Amino acid sequence: MAKISTDSAAFKSTLKTGAERFLSQALAHALAQGFRTPDDFLRHFKPLDLMVALESAHDLRAEILVKAAGVHQKIAIKKSTSSGAEDLRISIEEGLTDAPAILELFPADERVRYLDASKLWSFLVEDEFWSTPNAEANRERAIGRMTFTLENALHEDLVSLADISDGITFEMLATRMPHKELQKLVGHALRLGRERKPLTEEALLDCVSLQSIVGYVPLEHIWKTVIVERVAKPAGFLPTAASEPKSTTGGESKSSSSPAKERSSTAPFLPKEEANADAGKSIPPSKPANAPPVTPPRPADDSLAEIAAAEDDVDRLIESAQRPAPEEEARRRVLEKLAGISRLPPHHEALSTPILLSIESMYSELLSASTDEAREQCIRESFPNPTQMSSALLALIELLDPSIDINDPVIRDADVDSLIKVVLFEERHRYEQAHPSLRPAPSPLPPPSASRRGPTVAPPPLPRAGSLPPPLPPPGGEKRAR
């Protein structure tokens, strides 16, 4: 077994299988060395992708929403997938969090545990560092990365040294090694022969390091013959489309070009007579204008099973097209829930789905809070930003008290503190109406003489935009006049 370099030992995965540990350590190494960036990761895995993948990991998903998006812990656990994804997306767009902060909360092992392995592999190898143009741009860096990849696979028992030598081939190594290195290797083999020891792969690495071998052989060759064929493909990292082409009953690939196709591809560049002769058959000079469309012959290898499979694919496509989109389904559910608790705003069609989801999250805690301070805190923690909070509170005020004109600049331009107090005031008033026995006793009227002697008191002016409405009456206080 080859020795593992210091870089590969920097992070040790604790996942169960060797393939999972290999992928996790490769991800950590690529990000740590700057081969890939956190922004590259979020380009491959959008906020919705992350929230969908973490649907079963409630605690991890809630931690990301709390620490990255600023959602309250109790609300984060109850967030729907689409609502959590929207909160995370808005937090990224508003600069409240960024890709490195999210990856810090989402360790490499957890990424491999919950995200699709083939998509992680696509993210990891997107830069194609092994290709000749990319490798030549920074050859030492590319050699180091390839060496790490091989050592990582060796350490996790995904390949053996024999697999590596079979992939590279001794012929390739012999033609690529410098003359002095070959002389040294021959001398080493002769000394082993005198000791009656074979020249194994392990003995070869005692004479020539793995990194030196990687440097002698074209990286594209190592990547295709060792990494792809002996690591990625057996481990299931390659996307389905990258698997071997489907073969026909004759054992030949459907995608392979036939001689007739090759001839037809050259025909446009030849004179018409030569092209026809090369194809081995005459071609009509032109097609009659009224000729019926020619139906291509059905391939002989189409079996009933293949036809049935094609029909199943069509049925799945139709079913997928008829299925509502995730956001539409989330909006339908939240509208039903808000209508069920009589808190669906009258003009809800003007509100976005994230705002409606935040209103639902707010009411899951608001009506059970015991103090006004707790209710106010619940409202503030239910919305990711003041703009969404203001839109939601205005819509609720219109629902709770239709006599209030929310288009009045005094109400429309009020700050969120004022709007919160109005919503709390209206909610308390509704509660007292639903529970008459809990209403506080009205204050006694002043004696007539005092009323006649006292000056006439004018009603207080309407609050200006941005000013606070009157404070909520404490329990047992004066009843609100309607």
Q: Residues 44-58: pLDDT tens digits?
A: 999 999 999 999 999
Asked if residue 402 is part of any domain, the answer here is yes
How would DSSP label each residue in 55-96?
A: TT-HHHHHHHHHHHH---HHHHHH--HHHHHHHHHHHHHTTS
Q: What percent of the chain has pLDDT over 90?
A: 35
Average pLDDT over residues 382-410: 88
Q: Count up the domains in the chain and report the number.
A: 2
Please state, rounded to an integer, the average pLDDT across all residues of the chain: 76
User: How many CB atoms neighbour CB 430 within 10 A?
Assistant: 13
DSSP 308: H
Q: Please give the pLDDT value at position 368.
A: 76
Q: How many CB atoms lie within 10 A of CB 359?
A: 28
Asked whether residue 77 carries a pLDDT value surpassing 70, the answer given is yes
Top-confidence range, 184-198, 226-240, 261-275: 226-240
Residue 162 domain-assigned (yes or no): yes
* Whether residue 482 has pLDDT greater than 70: no
Residue 223 lies in a domain: yes
Average of per-residue pLDDT across 121-125: 95
The answer, as to whether pTM is greater than 0.85, is no
Is residue 405 included in any domain, yes or no? Answer: yes
Residue 422 has pLDDT above 60, yes or no: yes
In a domain, 373, yes or no: yes
Q: Is residue 96 part of a domain?
A: no
> Final residue of a domain: which of 222, 241, 260?
241
Residue 371 has pLDDT above 90, yes or no: no
* Cα distances (Å, whole numbers) of residue 319 to 324, 326, 328, 340: 10, 14, 16, 30
Q: Is residue 136 part of a domain?
A: no
Are residues 330 and 426 part of one domain? Answer: yes
What are 296-333's pLDDT values in tens digits? 554 444 455 555 555 555 555 555 555 555 677 788 88
Mean pLDDT of the 200-220 span: 80
The answer to whether the CB of 77 falls within 8 A of the CB of 58 is yes
Domain boundary among 210, 241, 272: 241
- What number is the average pLDDT over the span 245-267? 39
Write down which residue in 223, 241, 259 finishes a domain: 241
Where are the alpha helices (H) located in 253-322, listed in sequence order?
259-266, 272-279, 304-322
* H runs (alpha helix) in 323-459: 326-340, 353-366, 372-381, 386-400, 409-412, 416-434, 448-453
* Domain that includes residue 434, residue range: 326-438
pLDDT value of position 315: 58
pLDDT of the residue at 171 = 85
Mean pLDDT of 113-141: 91
Q: Per-residue pLDDT for 423 more than 70?
A: yes
- Which is more confidently placed, 389 or 449? 389
Tell me what the mean pLDDT of segment 403-411 comes to: 88
Q: Rounded to an integer, what distance in angstroms lies between the CA atom of residue 140 and that of residue 137?
A: 9
Q: Has residue 358 been placed in a domain?
A: yes
